Structure 1
Amino acid sequence: MTHGVKIHSKVAQKAQAEILTDGALQFLAALHRTFESTRQSLLVAREDAQRRLDSGVPLDFPPETAHIRAEPSWHCAPPAPGLEDRRTEITGPPERKMVINALNSGAKTFMADFEDSSAPTFANMINGQVNLRDAIRRQIDFEAGGKSYKLSDKPAVLLVRPRGWHLDEPRITVDNAPVSASIFDFALYFYHNAHELVKRGLGPYFYLPKMEHYLEARLWNDIFLFSQSYIGMPHNTIRATVLIETLPAGFQMEEILFELRNHSSGLNCGRWDYIFSFIKKRRADRSAVLPDRKDVTMTVGFMDAYVRLLIQTCHKRKVAAMGGMSAQIPIKDDPKANEIAMDKVRADKLREVTAGHDGTWIAHPLINQIARKVFDENMLGPNQYHVLRQEVKVAAEDLLNTKVPGKVTVEGVRENISASLAYTAAWVGGNGCIPLNYLMEDAATAEITRVQLWQWVRYASRLENGQPITAEYIDGLIKELSPGIKKLAPGVKDEHVQVAVEYLRSQVRKQWPSEFLTSDLMPYLAVADGVDPVFQLASL
């Protein structure tokens, strides 16, 4: 056992032996001891920043980095092998069948997601590492139910999204402290696969989620430099795409690129988390109350400004400006409804490619053909770095524009409650992405439902009939809708639904919404994985 490292959970011995090796744990411990204090200080800085926002200090572009934004000569690293053309990127959890289907989907790249579409049970996290290791070595083929799953000759290029800076990994401690979930996911994947990926003509490529400040990007860059040196790999081999999915990061796009510039492969419009962050960060601002979730589209003021600024920023610095996720999935039993849904996908992807995006996200292999056709017809080269969007002028007030047409409706409230309960129950049960009403829901979309319900109660929003939305009104709808949750999310158990009910009832009554439901509910998974409840509570 590596000195100071303890594993507080049981997984299959074979998986432990293959992934949690002494060498990997020594690397993880080295990263923890070197960078954990910086991570903690950055998380404290987030809290300080939120207090300033609550007191009425508006968000703005950082004055101390104006010189970075003004300097035209710096650029990011050139595209790494396999990342020159990213017109369609499929995403999903690193479950074995999903990995094969996604790599075979025809998309240019596959983002294996340890974050929003994965419920972080220890088995899910470790098995995901096993699956990616096997896929890289082309040893992932298997048979199940009389069906063969086999990797194609030209699979998509693999990228990996670790969990965000805010999350701990309580099943592993170093010197009696839980490690960062971000570092845990990154470390195991990088240690086991970086050299193998380069040998195969690619490299270790990542997506970095939920950052709120350019200093958080600097931390990632320092980890990249340390890690490359640790295993004897040339610096700048790693590439990372940053998801701009928090409101503060929307004001620091150039700075984030600058911090990661020699390891950067661009930015992504993480649209759903961005809406979640917009509500959460402006929690003390009554003017920031938004209407039904369906009305907060990519064409409303603050979202359109965010998209235009991201594309301009990326192309100014010669990296990819990736579009966001269309949540629609195929509707197999209703051709007419399916065509309507797919028309929405086409319109969304046409908006993206016309605006200047270099690629887009999809959640289902059958969507690839639709998204790919739109980009093939409208993006003739491998990317659109030449589309500089120099006409774009985005001011702070544009990113904070709360003029969103729409109302808060009974249907919108009911849909939010159903989605929140179904997703939370599924997550506690070990499933991190579920189809609801022919939309793929993950943690980001579930978070929108939670904070919208909180926001509507907090500011006594009124329905179309004039009725105020109160905690008691939400309670009544929860009581009505909760018996049907197991039908919406097959596989969840009564106790999982009860956790979801109690959680949502408590959330709408809080002074401020919790930062992340995943942080709140992680103790349930940890205890289920065998972590001592006393230790788990002490580490919160």
Structure 2
Amino acid sequence: MSAVLKPTTEHFECPTGAGDLLPAAAQALLVDLHRRFEPRRQALLAARADRQARFDAGALPDFRADTGAIREASWQVAPLPAALQDRRVEITGPVDPKMVINALNSGASCYMADFEDSTAPVWRHLVAGQRALREAVAGTLGFTSSEGRAYALRPADGQAVLIVRPRGWHLDEKHVRIDGERLSAALFDAAVFAFHNAAALAARDRGPYLYLPKLQTMEEAQLWDEVLAHLEDTLGLPSGQIRVTVLIETLPAVFEMDEILHALRSRAAGLNCGRWDYIFSYIKTFRRHRNRVLPERAQVTMTQPFLKAYSELLIQTCHRRGAHAMGGMAAQIPIANDAEANDAAMARVRADKLREVTAGHDGTWVAHPGLIALARGIFDERMPTPHQHHFAREDVLVGRDELIAPPLGSITRRGFENNVEVCVRYLAAWLSGNGCVPIHGMMEDAATAEIARAQLWQWLHHADDGHPPLCLDDGTPVDYLLFEAVLLNLPSRLQRDGVPGLDRVPEALGLLERLTRADTLAEFLTLPAYERLDG
């Protein structure tokens, strides 16, 4: 280490069971990061609340006047490392040992190990995930299932490139307290991973690489840049060794893509179309705008004008700056027992990936190993080069109005009922410790559940302030009578179907009802749910 930290364990509190991950030097690093950066984090979270209050009062997001010079100037991010030149197919998923092995062995270009949307932050799972990644980097990770099946890593040269997604700035790690305060979950995830793995990864020209979630502004990106620079200095890494890809998954961030890349220009490797969280952010940003209510989720596809504008502006911005423009998640998963349904799901994936590569994306995401060959085949055929930075997309002319234009559509009874079911089933599974849940042929995670939850709130609160209620396409009013009827009928059906997490269904029902009836849309579903999470 180039900077020596004195252990200050008397100021550090955490549960037992993580001693090997949190020796005195790691604890000292976390104490240092907390004291150095926590005031800035809190100030940025307060700025988010102020910004949302302005949106609630009728303001619209727009490009910043004070950063026009950054958008207009000619500059590029640092050259990409060899390991990140070709990222045509990335698989995402949680950090349990079996998933880590399967994802690294999957044949994908990269594996995004996700501590955020697809991991329920139970302490034992976080600890097990960090250990699994440490062992994977060391090449020693193995796993044996309860049925006796053994899983082992391929040789390193046949593995996907590892990219870790820490949790966002808005989340605390309640299990770790420093000076009596909760530690930032983002700092915990990133620092513990870097502490144990940065030197080994750097020695192999494999990073460390991170995906940064939920950013809204360039100032939030600047905070990450300072944190990572401090980690590099403390861990004896060259400046800019830690490379990052930023998920553009909030509506405010789409207006600051140039600025975010500029703030991270010594380490930025790309931007990603985090489409599901982006749709959720659109709903949340415009939660009080009665003229911008979205139709049911199934109708809010990437061909909708506001989402098409978002993805094409991201491509144009990235390619102008020498960064990758990564496509979004295909949430569909193979359906083993229904050939017709499986064919339809795969057709949707194929069309989505064809749209992405044709538009100029440099790679894409899948949620299941069974989709890798399909996605890779499409990108191999249409993208013979490692990426498409040469495709400048100078034809894209996108302004504020295109980015916020609401799509037309409807709410069907099936769409309403599906939102309720997804919320309840996901919450029940999440409270049971599972952050990634297959439901009706889709891999649902926190981001997709947030869309369902936020839509229910917005639809049911549409009649506030004297507005008439929304109606389903069959004329049924979208009101609390409909909501309660769906809630009442759901438990018996879930029990009949034998879905996982049944013992937490009553708790999930109660939490969803409270969140949906609340006067204000909660910022994140996971914040109140985290306080109820065991362990």
TM-score range, shorter chain: over 0.9
CA change 1:488–1:421 in 2 (3 A) is farther
Report SS of the residue matched to 1:18.
coil
Q: 1:250 aligns with which of 235, 254, 262?
A: 254
Partner of 2:447: 444
Partner of 2:529: 521
Q: 1:375 aligns with which of 359, 374, 379?
A: 379
Q: 1:422 aligns with which of 422, 425, 435?
A: 425
- Partners of 2:498 and 2:277 lie apart in 1 by 22
State whether residues 422 and 488 of structure 1, in contact with CA within 8 Å, keep that contact through their aligned partners in structure 2. no
CA change 1:90–1:103 in 2 (3 A) is same
* TM alignment of 1:380-395, pairs within 5 A: 380-395=384-399
Q: 1:6 aligns with which of 12, 16, 21?
A: 12
Give the CA RMSD over aligned residues: 1.2
CA change 1:272–1:359 in 2 (3 A) is same
* Alignment-mate amino acid for residue 484 of structure 2: D
Partner of 2:482: 473
TM-score normalised to the size of structure 1?
Answer: 0.94
Partner of 1:338: 342
- Deviation sequence 1:232-251 (CA, Å, 0-9, x none): 11100010000000000011
1:386 to partner: Cα distance: 0.6
1:17 to partner: Cα distance: 2.3
1:7 to partner: Cα distance: 3.2
- Partners of 2:198 and 2:366 lie apart in 1 by 26
* Alignment-mate amino acid for residue 13 of structure 2: I
- Partners of 1:79 and 1:487 lie apart in 2 by 52
Structure 2: which 5+ runs fail to align? 1-6, 463-468
- Partners of 2:336 and 2:13 lie apart in 1 by 44
- Deviation sequence 1:21-57 (CA, Å, 0-9, x none): 1111111111111000000000000000011111112
CA change 1:179–1:368 in 2 (3 A) is same
- Partners of 2:426 and 2:531 lie apart in 1 by 17
State whether residues 425 and 499 of structure 1, in contact with CA within 8 Å, keep that contact through their aligned partners in structure 2. yes
Q: 1:160 aligns with which of 158, 164, 167?
A: 164
- Partners of 1:49 and 1:143 lie apart in 2 by 49
1:8 to partner: Cα distance: 4.0
Partner of 1:412: 415
Partner of 1:134: 135
State whether residues 324 and 389 of structure 2, in contact with CA within 8 Å, keep that contact through their aligned partners in structure 1. yes
Partner of 2:47: 45
* Alignment-mate amino acid for residue 343 of structure 2: E
- Deviation sequence 1:311-344 (CA, Å, 0-9, x none): 0000000010000001110111122221221111
1:2 to partner: Cα distance: 3.6
Q: 1:66 aligns with which of 65, 68, 73?
A: 68
1:177 to partner: Cα distance: 0.2
Report SS of the residue matched to 2:83.
coil
- Deviation sequence 1:212-260 (CA, Å, 0-9, x none): 1110000000001111001111100010000000000011100000000
Report SS of the residue matched to 1:160.
strand
Partner of 2:465: none
Partner of 2:514: 506
- Deviation sequence 1:262-301 (CA, Å, 0-9, x none): 0101100000000000000101100111111100000101
- Partners of 1:431 and 1:183 lie apart in 2 by 22
CA change 1:439–1:177 in 2 (3 A) is same
* Alignment-mate amino acid for residue 71 of structure 2: R
1:4 to partner: Cα distance: 4.2
Asked if 1:492 corresponds to 2:501, the answer is: yes
- Deviation sequence 1:375-423 (CA, Å, 0-9, x none): 0000010000111001111100001101x23211111100000000000
Query: What is the number of equivalent residue pairs in this alignment?
Result: 520
- Partners of 2:226 and 2:495 lie apart in 1 by 45
State whether residues 419 and 446 of structure 1, in contact with CA within 8 Å, keep that contact through their aligned partners in structure 2. yes
1:3 to partner: Cα distance: 3.0
Asked if 1:463 corresponds to 2:472, the answer is: yes
* TM alignment of 1:192-271, pairs within 5 A: 192-271=196-275
In terms of mean alpha carbon deviation, does 382-391 or 497-506 score higher?
Answer: 497-506
CA change 1:489–1:196 in 2 (3 A) is farther
Partner of 1:122: 123
State whether residues 204 and 239 of structure 1, in contact with CA within 8 Å, keep that contact through their aligned partners in structure 2. yes
Report SS of the residue matched to 1:194.
helix
State whether residues 486 and 492 of structure 1, in contact with CA within 8 Å, keep that contact through their aligned partners in structure 2. no
Structure 1: which 5+ runs fail to align? 530-540
